[in-house]
Structure formats: structure tokens, C-alpha cells
Amino acid sequence: MRPKLVICIPTYNRSSVISQVLDHEAGMLKENGIDIIIYDSSENRETENIFETYKNKGFDNLFLKKVDSRIPSNRKIYMIWQDMEKSEYDYIWLIHDHRICTHVAVSHILQALEENKDFYILNTSGKGRAASTEISTLNVFFREGASLLTLYGASIINRRTFLSGTHWKRLERRYLKGRDINFSQLGFYYERASQISGFKASLLEFPADAFIYIPLKEQGGFGWYNDAVRIWTKCWAATILKLPVCYKGKMELIRSTEKIHLSGRKLTAYQKDGVFDLACFFKYVIWIKVASSESMLQHFFSAAGRPGRALRVHNRTFIKKIKRMRKAHKNIVIFGAGKYARLCGELLGNNQVEFDAFVVTVKEKNPEELMRHPVLPAAEYFGGKTDLIVIIATASDKTQKEIWEYIKSLNSSIDVVSFENW
């Protein structure tokens, strides 16, 4: 018998978003025997009215539960899991209200659930084809999952083996207290996984068309944008450090997200938006040191609104770092062939740091040569090479992350560094 899956959607005053989700999903999920429970924290009846409209159309797989709007979102998530612990569902998928899953995604998930794992990590960024990779150890689960699991919708949980028997009071005392609760779901995931004998998990990856994202109007895309520095320094680091001692390499993992959330480009954007200033810098400087390997002087100048000076400090620090890495006799290549790749090449050349080539994902539409260096396909160039430093030189933080993951998929032992120029 196919495992019974339920999708839980917490929402707050976003009735138009819920309407779009149900327009796309309700019929397809009913055909696949999947229930939807909307946990509604809105302060009006708009979401209830939409729910009643669909129920009247015969969607008996749709349910709604009201939640007090004063309850913080992280605590609400714990409440949903506790609610589901006593249900009759086999698997619980708690998902954002602004993400639409297509038939492609659902088919891949239902097939994977036949494996009866305790936990499924979902990488929904759409890298290529649908794939399922078994996670062999707790530390692989920690290393591969932590960054992905910061997002709601990135986990499907086995109710019987993972939810049942959870010591909720202990978890709440540990991860739902104080102002570092933003990653409390990670506390639940990793505490619980460490308690399960013979824990079994899989990483699910999806093709690009598996999900549809509904753009949000909040600044930065999310309501917590104005608190981003605290969240990605203090909250992120404090949560990881609290996790059980069986998880190794915590400091390395904490800093694995710095190029996404604490890059020079990102901090400059924060400063321009009034999110990062000197008061913020001094308030969280200890946690910034924990979460970032970059110069505190660079971060100070970013907070002070002097990105030009911060860039000069960053470039000096960057060159010193590359030279230290070069002492291991590693070849250097620059990933990219555009403006930022050229700027990176000029910086290396001006500081007498030699590099071998520019590499790109696809050779088509790229030049044969740039700055008297060949432009080569990455997969062909890397081959079996491990003695490499790859400098990612692209404008977008999102693209940098995607390239980072692509390189690691080709060869996990290659050293990867991001070039910042803002």
C-alpha cells in the first residue's frame, strides 16, 4: 500500500497566495490521494472563505485549522508537528504557502516514499533531473542537510519513526527560548535524528520545472529581511553549536553559508537598506566573527557605509588567502568568463598571482580566450584533477551558490573560493 502523505501549509494573511496554490494543486493532489491541511493564522476570514469554496467543489482532501495569530511562526511549526504526531498519516510535508508543487515533484516524492525512510531532504532549487541519494551517516545528514533544511518545505518526515515519541518540552526549552529561535526546526531535526537507531534518510533532487514559486512583496522576499544580520550570525551559529556532540565540523558548517548571506555584496545591500549599520556591527560582532572568515575591518567599513575602503581591505585579504592556498602547489582557475571574471583576473595579475584558465559550465557563446587565457568547459577541464583552487567570479549570489554545488558534484575535493567585487 502506498504511504499516506499529508501536506501542511502554515499561512498568515496571504489569501491570494493560498488561492493560487489551490488553483494549481488541489485537483492533482486529490488524484494522488494526498491531503492538504491549511494552518491559518490570518486575522480575517479571507482564507476561510477560499477554503469553503474549494470544499464546496468536492475537494474532500482539504482541511483547515485556525491558529492564534500571536503565536510566532517557529512555535507554530512545533505545534503542527505535535498535532501530526497523533494523526494517521505516514509522512508529513510541511511546506511554504508560496510554493506550488507540480505533478513532476509529487510523482518523484511518492516514488521515493516507497523506500520507507525516516527522513527525506528536498533540494528544490532545480539542478537537473530527478534523483534520490541515500544518506549513509548522521554526519552526512548534518553536512548535506543543514543549509537546505533552513527552508520550510525541505523536509518530509516519517510520522511513526521520526515524530512519534518526541520529547517536545525538552526541545522547546532548548530551541524555542530567546531570540535565537529562527532555526528551531534544525534543532528538532538533528536532535531527533541522533536519537533514532539505524537512522535512514535520502536526499531528493528535482528538475527545474518541479516547483513554481509565487513572488512575495516583502522587502528581500521575506518578512525577516530587516533582521537578516542577527539571523545569519547569532541565530544560525548558536543553533548549530547547540546540536548534539555527535555532529562534527560545526564551525566549518556555520561558515559554509557566509558567501550567500554575509558576502561583501550582501552586506553592502544590507547597509543601503538600513539593515546593517555600526550599531548592528558592534551588537553582533562576536557572532559575526564566528559566522564569517572575512576581515572584521572589511565588515566594519561595510557597516559604516564605506564600501570602497571595505573593498580594498577585502581585496588585500583575498589575495593573501589565495597566496596561502597556492603554497599547497595548487593550480588556480577562474569560474566565469564575464565582467566579474575579468575583474578577478586583473586583480590576480596585478598581484603577481598566476592562474591557468577561465572555466565555464557550457562553452557555447563564450569566447575561446580571455586575457590571454583559454576559456574551457569545467567538466572537461576538471576531469580527475584534485589539486585545484577554483575562484567563482559571477555577479549573482544565487549563481555563485549554484556553481559551488555544481563544482562539488564534479569533484568534492576541489577547493572553491568566491570572488567578491561590489
pLDDT digits (tens, 9 = 90+) for 91-148: 999 998 888 889 999 999 999 999 999 999 998 876 567 889 999 899 999 998 998 9
Q: How far apart are CA 3 and CA 320, in angstroms?
A: 54
C-alpha cell at 411: 569533484
pLDDT at residue 385 greater than cutoff 50: yes
Q: How far apart are CA 343 and CA 364, in angstroms?
A: 22
Alpha-helical runs (H) found in 176-242: 184-195, 228-230, 236-242
Q: How far apart are CA 239 and CA 229, in angstroms?
A: 15
Q: Residue 129: beta bridge partners? A: none
pLDDT for res 307? 66
> What does pLDDT average to over the chain?
88
pLDDT digits (tens, 9 = 90+) for 212-267: 888 765 434 456 788 999 999 999 999 999 999 999 999 999 998 887 888 877 88
pLDDT digits (tens, 9 = 90+) for 258-315: 878 888 778 877 888 889 999 999 999 999 999 998 888 888 988 987 767 777 877 8
Alpha-helical runs (H) found in 295-422: 296-303, 307-326, 339-350, 378-382, 397-410
What is this structure's pTM?
Answer: 0.79
Q: Where are the beta strands (DSSP E) in 193-336?
A: 201-205, 211-213, 331-335
Contact between residue 3 and residue 91 where contact means Cβ atoms under 8 Å apart: yes
At 114 the three-state DSSP class reads: coil
pLDDT digits (tens, 9 = 90+) for 65-91: 999 999 988 999 999 999 999 999 999
Tell me which long-range contacts 408-412 makes (C-beta under 8 A, separation of at least 24).
410/378, 410/379, 410/382, 411/382, 411/385, 411/386
Contact between residue 123 and residue 151 where contact means Cβ atoms under 8 Å apart: no
C-alpha cell at 69: 495569530
